[in-house]
Amino acid sequence: MDRRRIRVLLVEDEEIHRVLARAVLRAAGVEADEAENGAEAVRRVRERVGGGGAYDLILTDKQMPVMDGHEATRQIRAMGVTTPIVAVSSDSLPSDVQAFTAAGADDFTPKPLTKEKVGHILSKFGLA
């Protein structure tokens, strides 16, 4: 089966979480660009919209330096980007999920990211 390449932006400030997510995404057959904070994510998305081809999926943490996941999500949506954004956070109270949804996220999954969770996310958004 010939699968198209899925482009994912992983937004995570903690190195250990990026290492784990990178391995999980690779195991799921997905390559990811990485951003260490929300401001970097907004910049990368803007560059892609400007000619580098849009991402198919954005996975973002909540608490990061420079710009958090909520604000990054709001700014990405303000650019008119409709790419699915999934919050991946250890802060998973209903109020945390609602705050991400209000910012423009399409879904939420609690950390840690697993191959099964990635498979579910890809299926949900028609990427698998």
What DSSP string runs through 40-97?
HHHHHHHHIIIII---SEEEE-S--SSS-HHHHHHHHHHTT----EEEEES--SHHHH
The pLDDT, as a whole number, for residue 118 is 95
Per-10-residue mean pLDDT, the chain, length 128: 77 95 93 96 91 88 94 97 95 91 96 93 94
Given a contact cutoff of 8 angstroms between Cβ atoms, the answer to whether 27 and 115 are in contact is yes
pLDDT on residue 128: 84
Which of the 8 DSSP states describes residue 28?
T
Q: Residue 52: what pLDDT? A: 66
Q: Tell me which CATH homologous superfamily contains domain 7-115.
A: Response regulator (3.40.50.2300)
pTM for this model (two decimals): 0.94
pLDDT for 59: 98
Q: Round the CA-based radius of gyration of the chain to a whole number and report it.
A: 13
State the pLDDT at residue 3.
57
Q: Which two tokens stand for residue 26?
A: 């690779």
